[in-house]
Amino acid sequence: MEKVKPPIGKLLRHLQIGAFLKWLYWRYLRMGFSLLPPWAINVMTAVMARVQMAIAGNRRQLMSEELRLSSLIKDRDAGQLIRESFQNQLNSWIKQCYLRSMNDKTIDEYIPAEGLSHLDSALVVGRGAILLNPHFGPYMMAMPALGHRGYRVNQLAIQAESPRVARAGLTMLANKARYDAVEGAMPVRFINAGAETFDNFGLRNMAIRDMLSALRRNELVLYPPTGRGGRKWHTAPFLGRAANFNLVPYKIALKEGVPLIPMFLIDSERAGSRAAARAVIEPPIEVSDGDTPEGLLMKYLAVLTSYVEKYPEHFAFFQFDMKIKSEWDDHPFFIR
């Protein structure tokens, strides 16, 4: 039987309601949420996750299939794992309400960090460092976790010409409110991976030049190794499947002698912490004579795999999101 598509008017009304709620949260409600302790938000998002599960429909089925294909369910209860994934995503979103309360005096309370000595040792060499911060849990918290501790941080991100996707209406207002509340509160410098400029040779992306400049100033560059920005892709085995990755950070590491340091943000609900999140900085990836960018990628994927297998709920929503986008993405994350 042919599936009946909902009327365009109904879809538009749904989008406008969603945009209004988004605007309301980022413009006003987040200030009230910021007065709640993280444990109270955890209790609230646990209830919200159950509601999401009840109305998830096809989303729950898609997430379950992605978890199965990646062998992440194993002996876990699939329903519980998906519910924890919904809660993790909600926590990552709602706990950004604390950003305006974070500073150099409060950051230890909001985001305790492990492994900062790895950064300090790398910066002594004077070549900066690339921190590999994947789309894993509350990954946005990496920026305040480092910036408010006095590190000079550059975040590579795909940004449009303005913090809006829509050019009018509630969606524009909602996106602007979020941008002001989140990116506007980050103690970092953004490197726009979407910025392009014309020269005598045509269209050229300037992000790599800006990355190299930051590293030569002995600064940190937060790089999303699971990000979708870029033009050239390398297919590598990951979680028993084949996935597309950009080799840029690994090429820079070999060419410039820059340390590659894995970083992960763990949601406080899973970490048993009363903070908003917990930052974990791993030792630098070992670089040996004869290493290649592809080889360094595989070393990093070994570290990433260990975290995904330990905290699958921190990665499941990203997998679901990539599955949805694979329908139109010319370089989908998983190709099988």
Instruction: Classify residue 333: in a domain, yes or no.
Output: no
Who has greater pLDDT, 167 or 1? 167
CB atoms within 10 A of CB 122: 23
The proportion of the chain whose per-residue pLDDT surpasses 90, expressed as a percent, equals 71
Would residue 209 count as lying in a domain? yes
Mean pLDDT value of segment 157-180: 72
Residue 94 located in a structural domain: yes
Residue with the two structure tokens 């085995």: 237
For 66-121, the pLDDT digits (tens) are 999 999 998 889 999 999 999 999 999 999 999 999 999 999 999 999 999 999 99
Q: What is the DSSP string of 60-76?
A: HHHHHHHHHHTT--TTS
Is residue 116 in a domain? yes
Beta strands in 108-212 (DSSP E): 113-114, 129-132, 153-157, 189-192, 196-199, 202-205
Residues 6+ apart with CB under 8 A from 242: 235, 236, 334, 335, 336
Cα(96)–Cα(84) distance, rounded to whole angstroms?
18
Residue 1 has pLDDT above 60, yes or no: no
Q: Please check whether residue 335 lies inside any domain of the structure.
A: no
Give the residue among 326, 316, 321, 245 at the shortest CA–CA distance from 87. Answer: 316
- Write out the two tokens for 235: 């297919």
DSSP string, 48-62: HHHHHHHH-THHHHH
- Tokens standing for 100? 């305006």
Read off φ and ψ for residue 127, nearest 5 degrees.
-115, 10
Q: Is 50 exceeded by the pLDDT of residue 4?
A: no
Q: How many domains does the chain have?
A: 1
Q: CA 322 to CA 62: how far, in whole Å?
A: 11
**What does the pLDDT read at residue 203?**
46
Neighbouring residues of 176: CB distance < 8 A, sequence distance ≥ 6:
163, 164
| pTM metric for this prediction | 0.89
Q: Which domain holds residue 209?
A: 8-325
Q: Which two tokens stand for residue 279?
A: 């930052």
Asked if the structure places residue 332 within a domain, the reply is no
Q: Is residue 283 part of a domain?
A: yes
268 lies in a domain? Answer: yes
Task: Assess whether pLDDT exceeds 90 at residue 276.
Answer: yes
Local confidence band at 289 (pLDDT 50, 70, 90 cut-offs): confident
